[in-house]
Structure 1
């Protein structure tokens, strides 16, 4: 983590920025809740999550739903420690940019 912040192009993409922000506020979040909150399709969310997971910023786990009689499983998403640090650094960098105190770091 950098006290000055560090701008991150991968996180800065608007949907990925919102994903990281939503995941930062919770321990984990259900895929469907995240999808509905963002108002995007399953495919679009999956694409963004794959980018974040490949970078090591997000993890997922699938578990059986006790409320369902069928075999469908729920996908739970979590921001990794690295992902949280990168997001926090990015937000610090954005605040500095917005304040006019720094260019892209």
Structure 2
């Protein structure tokens, strides 16, 4: 049996990756907006984002709007490919065709 990517497979990271995969390639979302969409605490979201970032699946850009720090998030090309592979594997495991 083929294993599902353990980095993505955790429920919170799967939700994060799926949400980021809905963005166009190269498009990003602000941390508070993603937090709101996923209804996650900042600490929980940060912890799971760190694991995705360590795997090079998520790119994090820290900048400022005026004096306010802002963090933008997006799937890297590797992350997008990993998510596509994950969903293909899941479909195959469930007996569907990718």
Q: TM-score range by the shorter chain?
A: 0.7 to 0.9
5+ residue gaps in structure 1? Answer: none
Task: Specify which structure has the bigger relative contact order, considering alpha-carbon pairs within 8 angstroms and separated by 6 or more residues.
Answer: 1
SS at match of 2:85: helix
Q: In the TM superposition, what are the counterparts of 1:76-91 in structure 2 within 5 Å?
A: 76-91=72-87
Match of 1:7?
A: 4
TM-score normalised by the chain length of structure 1 = 0.81
Aligned length: 93
SS at match of 2:4: coil
When the two chains are superposed, the root-mean-square deviation of aligned CA atoms in Å is: 1.8
The runs of at least 4 aligned residues of structure 1 exceeding 6 Å deviation read none
CA gap 1:81/1:100 in 2 versus in 1, 3 angstroms: closer
SS at match of 1:99: coil
Match of 2:50?
A: 50
From the CA coordinates, give the structure whose radius of gyration is larger.
1
CA distance in 2, matches of 1:30, 1:41: 14
